Amino acid sequence: MPLPSSVTVHAPATIANVGCGFDVLGLCLTAPYDTITLRRCEQPGLTITHLDDYHLPTDPTHNVAGAALLALLREVPETLGFEVEITKGIRPGSGIGSSAASAAGAVVAANALLGNRFDNKQLIDMAMYGEAVASGVRHADNIAPAICGGFTLVRAVQPVLDVVALPAPALWVAVVHPQFEVKTKEARAVLPTQVPLSLAVRQWANVGGLVAGFLTQDFELIGRALDDYIVEPARAALLPGLGDAKKRALAAGALGGGISGSGPSIFMLNKDEATAHAAAEAMGAVYQKMGIAFHLHVGPIATQGARVVNF
């Protein structure tokens, strides 16, 4: 059968770090998502159009989707061209994987037009070039769940990419996105360059405990293991309302949570939908009282990452 000439993909938001797992753990959300349409064209190269109001760069070398697609094109023998249309449903700088969604969705769409010749590991590696444009670092903690879905562990990026896709229990995620921006580069700049061994040991124990909790569906263990002793304390000053929002969500029944990615979004994991809505409303009340506009997102951990919705 002939390959399609155009494809549309929905690329979802993601939670990176998942508390204690800085740069190594991630999980996929059902919404919000970016919508990306790719069309093959006779002219070599990339033409990028944004159908949203964020005024993002359209030069492929400075656009996260463009950088990811350029990496993909370097791996194919054909001379190809793509027209790319992006509608961002995930606000840039939100902390829920906006750049990763565009980069992941672009390579998943291109792969569909090429007969799915690349596997998930290869797509993750290509999409990481988009993250380098956004933050200066080729990290995969958002990219991996955006492509694989579910819960992912990035065991290594160098010298060889090693990503483990893990089954996720049927947890619900509550996210509050206060409407101010925390740039990833700025959030990385405040991180400590040295960590006391005692804190590192506690952090390692929590990463192991969190992965074990997901694998065994031990919700209480998940709640105990989410605490971040290193990164969140360093970034807390960038996120007014963080401590109060977490405290109120826990009082509403949430298992635990923390900063989503580099912020400003805050996530909380929950046993069921009703608790997730209660936790979201509790966090929203904090920002309402502070006079800061916010968006709430509630949904289960998504089992599927970026997906084709139309040829």
Question: Which residues are CB-contacts of 253 (< 8 A; sequence separation ≥ 6)?
Answer: 270, 271, 275, 278, 279
* Opening angle at CA 104, ends 109 and 51, nearest 5: 70
- Cα separation of 286 and 248, whole Å? 8
Q: Would you call 78 a catalytic residue per the annotation?
A: no
Residue 217 · residue 168 · CB < 8 Å = no
- Cα separation of 157 and 72, whole Å? 18
- Cα separation of 142 and 278, whole Å? 26
- Cα separation of 10 and 109, whole Å? 9
Which among 14, 30, 184, 275 is annotated as catalytic?
184
The angle, 0 to 180 degrees and rounded to 10, between the axes of the packed helices 98-113 and 120-135 is 140
Residue 127 · residue 147 · CB < 8 Å = yes
Side-chain-side CA neighbours of 104 within 13 Å: the count stands at: 33
Q: Would you call 273 a catalytic residue per the annotation?
A: no
Which among 131, 152, 232, 275 is annotated as catalytic?
131
- Give the chain's radius of gyration (CA, Å): 19
State the amino acid at position 289 in one-letter form. Answer: K
Q: How many residues does the chain have?
A: 311
Residue with tokens 């508390």: 19
Helix (H, G, I), strand (E, B) or coil at 151: strand
Distances (CA, A) of 48 to 5, 38, 81, 127, 145: 16, 9, 11, 16, 24
Residue 306 · residue 8 · CB < 8 Å = no
The residues annotated as belonging to the active site are 131, 184
